[in-house]
Amino acid sequence: MSTNQSPSGRPETLSGNRDEQLRQAMSRTGLDALWVSRPENVRYLSGFTSGDDAKLLVVAAGDQTGATLYTDARYTVQAGEESRFPAFIARSPATLEHAASSVQGLRVGFEADHLTVSELETLRAHWQAGGTPATLVSTQGVVEGLRLVKTEEEVAQIRAAQTIADAAFAAVRPGIMAGVREDSVAGQLEAFMRERGAGSAFDITVASGPRGAMPHGTASARVIGNDELVTIDFGAKVNGYHSDMTRTVAVGNPSEELRRLYRAVLEAEEAAVQAIRPGAKCSDLDKLARDILVSHGLGEYFAHSLGHGVGLAIHEGPGLRGTSKDVLEAGMVVTAEPGVYLPGVGGVRIEDLILVTPTGHEVLSSSPKEHL
Ligand SMILES: CSCC[C@H](N)C(=O)N1CCC[C@H]1C(=O)O
C-alpha cells in the first residue's frame, strides 16, 4: 500500500466551489465526514474516472479535514494523473484501517443507496470497534443534490455527446428500412459514435413493429418490416457525460392507428418541452404530457414517467414524474420522453434532451422528428 503525493497545482484539501457546496450539504445533514461509494459521485468530486474501483473519504470537521481517494494498485498511475485528492493505494480492509484514524469520534455519512449490507458491516467492524468509535449515518442524495445543476463545463460535455448522437442519427437514418435487422441499426449508431471518440450511453433501443410496445426494447435480431414504426432510443457518452434521445420513424406507410399514436405522443412531447423553464414543477410537467395522452384515450398506455435528469448518470435528478417534489432550475439538463405502448400492436416514444436556461430552455437534441 502507498500514498500518492498530490501533484503540485492541485489542491489536496477541500477548496473551491464544488467542495464548498459539499461542505455546506454535509453540514445541513449533520455530517463531519462522508464515505462516498457511488462511482459517479467519486468521479464528480475527485475527477478519478474509475469510480467503480474507488471510494472517497471526505472529512469536513475535526483536525484532519480534507479528502482521500482509496483505490488499488491497478490505478496508481491513473489516480496520480486524475484525482484532485491524494490517493491511498490499497485494497479493503487495509483502506478501512487507514481511514479509521481519520473518522474517530466523527459522524460519518455513508451512501445508503450505494453500499451493500456486508460493506456496511465491514465499515462498522473497522470504525466502531476502537476506543473512539465513529457514528455511521445513513444518507441519501447528498452528492446527487450537488449534481442537479450543471456547470458550464458539464453542459459542454453533454452538448458534445448530443452533437455526436445527432450526427450518428443523420448518418444511419437513411438505412433504416424494411429488411434491415434492428441490431444492425444499433451497431451502426454505436460504430459512428465510437469513431468520433464517444461511447454508447446505454444499450441502444431499436424496437420495430410489435416490439415497439417494449419501452426498453434493446435492439434484437428482428428484421424490420414494411409499414412499421421503429423506436430508436440511444445516447453518446463523452468524458463520462451522457446524452439521451428517442426518435420513432416510419418505414413505408404505417396504419392510421399507428399514425394516430404518433401524433398524440408528438403533441404531448412538444407541449412538455415548451413548458420547461426555471420554477416549473416536475410533477406538473409530467401531468401536462399525461393529460394530453389521456385526452387521446391513451393515458393507460403511457407506462413510465415523463423524463429525468441526465449527466454523469443516464438517470439522475431531477425526476420528471408525478410524485416528484423537484422544481426545475437553470443549469439542469432533463429529458422529456412521453411514450405509448400497446401490447401486440406497437409503440411510439419521442424524446428530446433539454437544458433549462435562465429564461426558459434550450433543446440540445436537433435530430428532425417525422410528421405522420
Ligand atoms: C436504460 S437507459 C434508458 C434511456 C431512456 N431514454 C429512458 O430513460 N427511458 C426509456 C423508457 C422510459 C425511460 C426510463 O425510465 O427508463
ipTM of the complex: 0.99
Burial class (CB in 10 A: 0-12, 13-18, 19+), 143: buried
Q: How far is the CA of 370 from the centre of ligand 1 (A)?
A: 21
pLDDT of the residue at 360:
98
Burial 307-341 (b: 16+ CB within 10 A, else e): bbbbbbbbebbbbbbeebebebebbbbbbbbbbbb
Answer whether 347 contacts ligand 1 (Cβ < 6 A).
no
Residue 131 has pLDDT above 70, yes or no: yes
Average the pLDDT over 128-151 and give the result. Answer: 95
For the cut 90, the answer to whether the pLDDT of residue 103 exceeds it is: yes
If DSSP states are collapsed to H, E and C, what string results for 35-52? EECCHHHHHHHHCCCCHH
Residue 6's pLDDT band (boundaries 50, 70, 90)? very low
Compute the distance between CA of residue 80 and CA of residue 87 in angstroms, rounded to an integer.
7
Does the pLDDT at position 4 exceed 50?
Answer: no
pLDDT for the residue numbered 8: 30
What per-residue confidence (pLDDT) applies to 61? 86
CA of 87 to the centre of ligand 1 (A): 35
Percent of the chain past pLDDT 90, that is, above it, reads 93
Query: What would you report as the CA-atom Rg of the chain, rounded to the nearest whole angstrom?
Result: 23
Query: CA 267 to CA 269: how far, in whole Å?
Result: 6
CB-based contact 40:312 (threshold 8 Å): yes
Instruction: Please report which confidence band the pLDDT of residue 79 belongs to, taking 50, 70 and 90 as the band edges.
Output: very high
From the CA of 97, how far away is ligand 1's center (Å)?
40
Residue with cell 426494447: 217
Q: Beta strand 87-89 with 66-71: parallel, antiparallel or unpaired?
A: parallel
d(CA 243, ligand 1 centre) in Å: 12
The yes-or-no verdict on residue 7 having pLDDT over 80 is: no
pLDDT beyond 80 at 268: yes
Nearest CA to ligand 1 atom 14: 304
Instruction: Tell me the pTM.
Output: 0.94
pLDDT digits (tens, 9 = 90+) for 234-252: 999 999 999 999 999 999 9
pLDDT of 10 strictly over 50? no
Residue 2 has pLDDT above 80, yes or no: no
Counting from 1 in the atom list of ligand 1, the atom nearest the Cα of 314 is: 2
HEC secondary structure over the chain: CEECCCCCCCCCCCCHHHHHHHHHHHHHCCCCEEEECCHHHHHHHHCCCCHHHEEEEEECCCCCCEEEEEECHHHHHHHHHHCCCCEEECCCCHHHHHHHHHHCCCEEEEEHHHCCHHHHHHHHHHHCCCCCCCEEEEECCHHHHHHCCCCHHHHHHHHHHHHHHHHHHHHHHHHCCCCCEHHHHHHHHHHHHHHCCCEECCCCEEEEHHHHHCCCCECCCCECCCCEEEEEEECEEECCEECCEEEEEEECCCCHHHHHHHHHHHHHHHHHHHCCCCCCEHHHHHHHHHHHHHHCCCHHHCCCCCEEECCCCCCEEEEECCCCCCECCCCCEEEECCEEEECCCEEEECEEEEEEECCEEEECCCCCCCCC
| The pLDDT of residue 63 | 72
Closest CA to 360 of 279, 243, 264, 281: 279
Grid cell listed for 28: 445541513
User: pLDDT at residue 17 above 50?
Assistant: yes
pLDDT band at 15 (very low <50, low <70, confident <90, very high): low
Mutation probe of ligand 1 site: the residue of 189, 206, 304, 349 with most atoms within 8 A of C-beta: 304
* Ligand 1 atom with minimal separation from the 351 CA: 6
Q: How close is the Cα of 106 to the center of ligand 1, in Å? A: 39
Distance, CA 330 to ligand 1 centroid (Å)? Answer: 23
Asked if residue 233 has its Cβ within 6 Å of ligand 1, the reply is yes
Report the nearest atom of ligand 1 relative to the CA of 315: 8
Q: How far apart are CA 324 and CA 180, in angstroms?
A: 40
pLDDT exceeds cutoff 80 at 65: yes
Ligand 1 midpoint to CA 306 (Å) = 10
Looking from the CA of residue 308, the nearest atom of ligand 1 is 8
Average pLDDT on 203-216 reads: 98
**Mean pLDDT on 106-129:** 97
Please determine, for residue 5, whether its predicted confidence score (pLDDT) is greater than 70: no
C-alpha cell at 36: 462516498
Assess whether the C-beta atom of 351 lies below 6 angstroms from ligand 1. yes
Distance 151 CA to ligand 1 centre (A): 24
User: With 80 as the cut, is the pLDDT of residue 66 above it?
Assistant: yes
pLDDT of residue 16: 66
- Determine the average pLDDT of the residues in 287-303: 98
Interval between CA 90 and ligand 1 midpoint (Å): 37
pLDDT tens string 303-343 = 999 999 999 999 999 999 999 999 999 999 999 999 999 99
Write down the pLDDT at residue 14: 55
Residue 90 pLDDT > 60, yes or no? Answer: yes
* Mutation pick for ligand 1 pocket among 200, 314, 323, 333 (CB with most ligand atoms within 8 Å): 314
Q: According to the model, what pLDDT value does residue 62 have?
A: 74
Task: Return the percentage of the chain with pLDDT > 70, whole number.
Answer: 96
For residues 59 and 66, what is the distance between their CA atoms, to the nearest angstrom? 5
Segment 20-57, tens digit of pLDDT? 999 999 999 999 999 999 999 999 999 999 999 999 99
Task: Evaluate: CB of 314 within 6 angstroms of ligand 1.
Answer: yes
Any atom of ligand 1 within 6 Å of the Cβ of 218: no
Assess whether pLDDT exceeds 80 at residue 171.
yes
Average pLDDT, the chain: 95
Cβ of 244 closer than 6 Å to ligand 1, yes or no, is yes
Q: Whose CA is nearest to atom 12 of ligand 1?
A: 304
